[in-house]
Structure 1
Amino acid sequence: MSLHDTVEVNFDGLIGPSHNYGGMSDGNLASQGNAGEVSNPREAALQGLEKMRLLVKAGFVQGVLPPLERPNLGFLADAGFGGSDKQMIEAAAKSEPRLLKAAYSASSMWTANAATVSPSADTTDGRLHFSAANLSSMLHRSLEHPETTTTLATLFEDDGAFGVHGALPMHEDFSDEGAANHVRLCREHGGQGVELFVYGREAGESVTGFPARQTRLASESIARSHGLHAERTVLARQSAKAINAGAFHNDVVCVGTLDTLFFHEYAFEDTEGTLAALRDAAEGLFELKPVMVPDAEVPLADAIKSYLFNSQLLQWPGEDRLVLLAPTETQETDSTRAFCERMVEGNGPIGRVQYVDVRQSMRNGGGPACLRLRVVMTPDERASMHQGVLLDETKIDALQDVVRATYRDRLSVSDLADPAFAEECFAARAGLLSALGLEGLV
């Protein structure tokens, strides 16, 4: 088996039928700015599936992760609501609508937050490791990790090939937001790489402004549990300036793949120190290619509004240079469009920008990169996982048929109070799981 046979598989989150604009994410400007607006779950899911189709047609190995069960009635029961499902929903809508919104949240669609992933080439035991993120900073997201762990353990159940770890302790010192604060760099996917963990605060540290969601302790703990080599692991602090401007995850200001790191001038507290540490860690493996976007050319506010960096950076089949799969908002923002045009005209590692419409996700603060979890896999690893979530166009068609038949094209936050909507969500998810051969997750 050649190193060239190992590929990066993107597992996109299938947007769930309860996709709504609840405005629950502190520090996420899009989520807060669109709070209370009417969403279109059907359009959201179809947009996500069309992005997946684009990559399948281009020759990528593309996977999908199903939505979690929503509403989370167990959470409502834990919050003290009793009786039938209908009674719990009606009581929560009347007395604690914030908790009902959390129970219905479709935020698991952003699978970049589902887990941190270390490929087998980087780990001491030679297994592919996943650590589900506890997402403890936000109530609605903190509900996800038990189901996420179950889903990952179901898809990657071969203990000889995979190590699936549950979430870190649910304490602020271990706050973990998954792969949104993690970048793997390498010469080629099958070779040993360098793993970059980006954190916003130390354990026990108080910070002002928007929440710094990732702690250094959480990143260190995951690196230990994955058995990473210390000399090939880098920890860097995200800049407070970026966090307080609305870059709630590092992937709002930085993305990387292979030997290329594409980032904003204000992505890191110590840019030169971070690049030096990466070069030291990469010594003997590859030569780092940093592409820094100056604030003078793309102001931080524009980078966050356009989600220039919350794009997928891909080794496109048949192309010599990398392709940036960016949201249409990047094209519509003058500074980011102009920068992309200049960038591809040069001779740097990024040779093309392709734009994709994921507006429904973007209005809640998630771009193309938020919607996918990157998993570097050997052919044997791909063969030993659950095959039903690996996509071709026929399977995408089947999923879109379920979406068109079961998802609403208009959803307001007030609709969550209707117990009948819960039954719609359960039926929709059951249809999706059946199409993926995952009926056991119902």
Structure 2
Amino acid sequence: MSAREYNFDGLVGPTHNYAGLSSGNVASMRNSHAVSNPRQAALQGLDKMLALSQRGIPQGVLPPLARPNLALLRQLGFEGEDAAVVARAAREEPRLLAAAYSASAMWTANAATVSPSADTADQRVHFTPANLNAKLHRSQEHADTTRSLRAIFADATRFMVHEALPAGGAFGDEGAANHTRFAAGHGVPGVELFVYGRAEFNAEVTPPRVHVARQTLEASRAVARLHGLNESRVVYLQQNPAAIDAGVFHNDVIAVGNLDTLLYHEDAFVDEAASMDRLAGACEQAGVALRRVRIERARMSVDDAVASYLFNSQLLAREDGRMLLVVPQECREHERVSRVLDELVAGGGPIAEVLSFDLRQSMRNGGGPACLRLRVVLTDEERDALQGQVLMTPELHARLGAWVRTHYRDRLAPEDLADPQLIGEVRTALAELRGILQLPGLYPQL
């Protein structure tokens, strides 16, 4: 069956800020308490969406979540009117206020894990929102994310949006940032790769020593069951714990794949040779001749990968069968990484072209091009069943750009989160966004 991959990018929210809430994420910690520019961040993301859609790569928009999450603060004992809740939290627990204001849902690679209808037993597209329970500021996202996904993918005959997995150490789930699909074509059954960092119930799996691994094997297996996947077409690989300790908090910071191609660092997986043999074998059984593009540590260290976010790039199929690699501008500003990119293109392999974008506002908080998108494979019929106006066009880009320029601040410092006027500004903006996207039930709390 004919199908295409749609990249649903997160629209950066008006409370984008640098609170340094994500330990294990080198960029997030390094830029903690810097001054952000929400307007610039949103416009940079929108420009990437438009540019890729104009190259024939379908783009969708996932809306920001409603913030601040005052329900979280009230649950933690801050009482009174909205302004009083914010004022007390700013005075007594500024980290909790920052968590309530977090715009981290912009990185929609963590929104959910998605399996296309070609892979699932009931031939529906399945979504499991990630519980993200490793971090407070992210663990509050999944209920709102579920509501957003059900608003857009509302046709129950074609889509199934599950509840997030149970909270708790055994089922830490970080979504598509640790999931990759390989197939001979988007519309045929493929192989789904789940990468985990630790196993709650298997003492033989060695965890990292410095940073907590966020994705568990148990969570990955549960998602595969929920989606009704054929176990012969599912592969589970362990992420290298040394890479996690070096700042590779998700697999998409050290590997990226699409269709028949995997670009990865040699330190990405435990027992690289056995892991690659297992993946290649499963792909071969599915009719996929896996093309492995391996980056040796002698050419580029893990630290270089983390600094540049080379692997947190979008690997996109061109019409000629070769790949376009969409990278952050930082890759071209890093001498060794830029040289590797040139070698990839010149080498005659599957990667034919590299396209860089300025996503500096996102990058300073630890998110590159791949973090900003959720990959959803859709048939034409499934695409036509989408609700709202969420597929990128020049007209939608213009409307959203004008909306951002009207409502977003161009400067947001940590102390600005205590400003009670910010609450009203954000609510006004999101109420208008509902109309632009034609999703009237999107923000019921407004």
Shorter-normalised TM-score: what interval?
over 0.9
The aligned residue for residue 80 of structure 2 is 83
What is the root-mean-square deviation in Å for CA atoms of aligned residues? 1.0
The aligned residue for residue 249 of structure 1 is 250
Cα separation, 1, equivalents of 2:334 and 2:439: 41
Letter in 2 for 1:33: R
Q: Deviations over 1:181-207 (max 9, x none)?
A: 000001111111000000000015665
The aligned residue for residue 66 of structure 1 is 63
Deviation at 1:390, TM superposition (A): 1.1
Of 185, 190, 194, the match for 1:188? 185
What is the SS of the residue equivalent to 1:338?
helix
Cα separation, 1, equivalents of 2:320 and 2:31: 38
Letter in 2 for 1:304: V
Letter in 1 for 2:196: Y
Aligned CA distance change for structure 1 residues 233 and 320 (closer, same or farther; 3 Å): closer
Q: How does 1:275-290 map to 2 (within 5 A)?
A: 275-282=276-283, 283-290=285-292
Deviation at 1:431, TM superposition (A): 2.0
Q: Deviations over 1:135-175 (max 9, x none)?
A: 00000000000000111111111111111111100101100
Of 106, 109, 119, the match for 2:106? 109
Indicate conservation of the 8 Å contact 1:187/1:258, yes or no.
Answer: yes
Cα separation, 2, equivalents of 1:320 and 1:365: 31
The aligned residue for residue 429 of structure 1 is 430
Letter in 2 for 1:46: L
Q: Deviations over 1:68-91 (max 9, x none)?
A: 000001111111111110110011
Q: How does 1:350-369 map to 2 (within 5 A)?
A: 350-369=351-370
Deviation at 1:179, TM superposition (A): 0.2
Q: How does 1:110-149 map to 2 (within 5 A)?
A: 110-149=107-146
The aligned residue for residue 90 of structure 2 is 93
1:212 aligns with 2:213: yes
Letter in 1 for 2:94: P
Q: How does 1:197-208 map to 2 (within 5 A)?
A: 197-203=194-200, 207-208=208-209
Instruction: Give identity over the alignment, percent.
Output: 52
Cα separation, 1, equivalents of 2:209 and 2:26: 17
Letter in 2 for 1:440: G
What is the SS of the residue equivalent to 2:6?
strand
Cα separation, 1, equivalents of 2:65 and 2:286: 42
Cα separation, 1, equivalents of 2:98 and 2:147: 23
1:49 aligns with 2:46: yes
The aligned residue for residue 241 of structure 2 is 240
The aligned residue for residue 305 of structure 1 is 307
Deviation at 1:298, TM superposition (A): 0.8
1:172 aligns with 2:172: no
Deviation at 1:284, TM superposition (A): 4.2
Indicate conservation of the 8 Å contact 2:111/2:175, yes or no.
Answer: yes
Ranges of 4+ aligned residues in structure 1 off by more than 6 Å: none
Indicate conservation of the 8 Å contact 1:192/1:285, yes or no.
Answer: no
Deviation at 1:439, TM superposition (A): 2.6
Cα separation, 2, equivalents of 1:422 and 1:203: 40
Letter in 1 for 2:368: G
Indicate conservation of the 8 Å contact 1:26/1:211, yes or no.
Answer: no
Aligned length: 438
Letter in 1 for 2:343: R
Cα separation, 2, equivalents of 1:12 and 1:232: 27
Q: How does 1:146-161 map to 2 (within 5 A)?
A: 146-161=143-158
Letter in 2 for 1:20: N
Deviation at 1:245, TM superposition (A): 0.5
Cα separation, 1, equivalents of 2:395 and 2:185: 30
Cα separation, 1, equivalents of 2:439 and 2:17: 25
Cα separation, 1, equivalents of 2:358 and 2:208: 35
Q: Point out the more displaced range, 424-433 or 42-51.
A: 424-433
Specify every segment of 5 or more residues in structure 2 that has no aligned partner in the other structure, as ranges.
none
Q: How does 1:333-344 map to 2 (within 5 A)?
A: 333-344=334-345
Letter in 1 for 2:104: S
Letter in 1 for 2:173: D
Letter in 2 for 1:439: P
Cα separation, 2, equivalents of 1:238 and 1:74: 35
Cα separation, 2, equivalents of 1:396 and 1:94: 39
Q: Point out the more displaced range, 371-380 or 196-205.
A: 196-205
Q: Deviations over 1:379-422 (max 9, x none)?
A: 11101111411110101110010000000000001000111111
